[in-house]
Amino acid sequence: MKTEQKGMTATNSCLSKCSIQQLFEWEIAHLRESRRFSTANNYKRTLNSINHYLGRPNLPIAKFNAELVSGYNSYLIGRGIKRNSISFYMRVLRAMYRKAVRSNIIKQPLRQGDPFADVYTGVDRTHKRAISEEELLCISRCDFTASPRLAFTRDLFIFSYCARGMAFVDMAYLRWHNIRQGVLAYTRRKTGQPMSLSLERQMMEIIQRWSVLSIKDYIFPILTSDEPEVAHKQYQTALRNYNSLLKCVSRAAGVKHFLTSYTSRHSWATTARNHGIPIDIISAALGHTTEKTTRIYIASIDNSVIDNANQRLINAVLHTVSSQEILQRK
């Protein structure tokens, strides 16, 4: 333990003499070693933006103060960057600053206060568009026989909806061990929240249709590598392609607004509310973890209640029956 602390102290001593850019590079390397590739990319984006602002490669760590933060904030505003994007950069910069203070890399005078006190670090609500039940039905019935890529994109969108708005990243990383006895169990990569849901017939049909093209034990033919960094890059490319192809699906199905990878999730929640499903069950179904009241309530909700709610929702929109009912009829 003493050796570890001594090494950390030595590292911090070296970092206290480095530049802000070097501090960022060190943190980015650490995040990548920890396989936190998305966070590492966020820090890299912020570093690139700061470099554009500073116009020089090395700014001493001692200059990491309110003056720098205020100047950088004004620079972003002057460039016409959207408020939420500015907040994104500020939150990353603040996280880097606070970590440096906690590690004694930056000595913060008591009289200095919070250098981020006068900049916006919140998140403005953006208007998320949900599609109607009629539009979802049109998408599900659209004939994409001539285009396997559009057919796969449409099926992923429907699968996401049936899986209570499963994120694209979670679909991409699904493996066969996530399925046990008709239940799909996985961990949300965004929040670490464990999720479990019944595999409805529509979901099983989509899996059977496309899993024949998959490799490396993945359920869907999205990723092909087991190496974490390579797989993450494949996911990023696949997400861009998915969102691009969803626009084509939108046009073909006659949907008013372009679909995105988040539309299925927002649509599920909106339709669930319209069908009278209680908000606490909707929150549990989506795996929300940010609201304390929701998190407390999740623990007391039996998963079968959520599965029944999801089944009712799918049947109401897609006019089909559950896999359980099919089995009972045989």
Kindly list the distances between the CA atom of residue 164 and the CA atoms of 11, 35, 182, 266, in Å, as whole numbers in the listed order: 45, 27, 16, 9
- Residue 276: what pLDDT? 75
CB of 203 closer than 8 Å to CB of 162? yes
- The dihedral over CA atoms of 41, 46, 48, 53, expressed in degrees to the nearest 10, equals 180
Distance CA 33, CA 56 (A): 27
Q: Which helix or strand (DSSP H or E) is residue 169 part of? A: helix 168-172
Q: Which parts of the chain register pLDDT below 70?
A: 1-17, 57, 108-112, 125-128, 289-305, 319-330
The CA radius of gyration of the chain, in Å to the nearest whole number, is 24
Cβ-Cβ contacts under 8 Å for 55 (sequence gap 6 or more)? none
pLDDT at 271: 84
Which pLDDT value is given to residue 130?
A: 82
- Please report the pLDDT score of residue 306 as a whole number: 75
The pLDDT score that the predictor gives to residue 328 is 52
Domain ranges of the chain: 2-102, 133-329
Q: For 110-160, write each residue's pLDDT tens digit.
A: 556 789 999 998 877 666 678 989 999 999 999 999 999 999 999 999 999
- CATH 1.10.443.10 matches 133-329: yes
**Confidence at residue 128, expressed as pLDDT on a 0 to 100 scale:** 62
pLDDT of the residue at 320:
60
